[in-house]
Each structure stands twice: as structure tokens, then as C-alpha cells.
Amino acid sequence: MFFLIAVSLILYGFQRFTASQLVAFIAIAIPMVSFTGYAYGLDHFYGQMSILTAFTGFSLATATLLMTAKTGAVKAILSSHIGGKIARLQTAAGYIIPTILGYLLIESLHSSDVNLFGIFVVTICWFIISMVSISAILQEKIDIERWEGERLLAQPPCMIN
């Protein structure tokens, strides 16, 4: 993790911002797996990594990502436009909901109730469908407003005498 952060910083120094972001995204995934392991109580997820090390790595990887905020994926996510708003919503929901469902899956495997696994799969599928639908609804609203604005601009101006 720290090696990847160092590589990301070196790439940033050579102004390879997209590559720096990619490596930083990979680096941030490692402490996220560790956090998930701590939350689920699965020691093989976090292995030898302490929560303090995971937090430090997460903080450094986040800082490395934010250094490149004027380009690439981070720029798109932080954008004030509709794409950024949708990306932030989907990123948060895309991490939180599967994490909660994963916890429920782990609990169902401990209780050996196989029916809950089917519910887990169906819920994930419906979650993805819901995310796509919400994105489409938000984008459609923006498109309707834009089309209305274009229609108004296409009308000839009124002459006042």
C-alpha cells in the first residue's frame, strides 16, 4: 500500500496525473479491504494490518488522489455538474449498500441459512437496476430543462415598439 502511494507520488512528480490517480485508487483499495475485514470480523481480510496502519494508508492515498483533483476521474467525481452529482451518489451508494449486504451475507453463512444467499444476489441485482434508473431519471430531468432552454433560444426575439 505504501509502495503504491510512493509510486503514485513519483508519477505525480513526473506530471503523469492519470497514472498517478490509477495507482492511488489501487492503493486506497488495500485499506478499504482491511476496514471491511474489521467491520465483518474476518481476520483473513485484514491480516497483519492494524486499524491504525489502515487509517494512515487510507489518509495518505486519499491525499494523493486529491492532489490530482484537477484531472481525470477525481475531477469528474468532484464536478459541480450533474455528472459529478450522479457520480458522488453512485460512489457512496455503490460502496455502502453492498457493504451492508455483504455483512448480511456473512451472517447468513454463519447461520447456514442458504435461502439468504439467494436474497443477497437478488438484492444486489435490484440495487444495480435502481442505481441505473435513478441516474437515468436525474439525467432525463436535466435534458428536459436543457431542451426547454434550447427551444426558448430558438424562438425569434420579440420586437417592442
Given this model, what pLDDT does residue 65 score? 94
- Whether 49 and 31 have beta carbons less than 8 Å apart is answered as yes
Together in a domain, 87 and 139: yes
pTM flag (> 0.85) = no
Structural domain boundaries, residue 130: 79-154
Q: What angle do CA 86, 27, 109 make, to 5 degrees?
A: 75
Domain count, the chain: 2
User: In Å, how far are 38, 49, 69, 110, 117 from 120, measured between CA atoms?
Assistant: 21, 29, 35, 14, 5
| Residue 113 pLDDT class (50, 70, 90 cuts) | low
Together in a domain, 26 and 70: yes
Together in a domain, 66 and 111: no
Alpha carbon distance, N-terminus to C-terminus of the chain? 72
* Residue 134 pLDDT greater than 80, yes or no: yes
11, 45, 78 - which closes a domain: 78
Given this model, what pLDDT does residue 159 score? 66
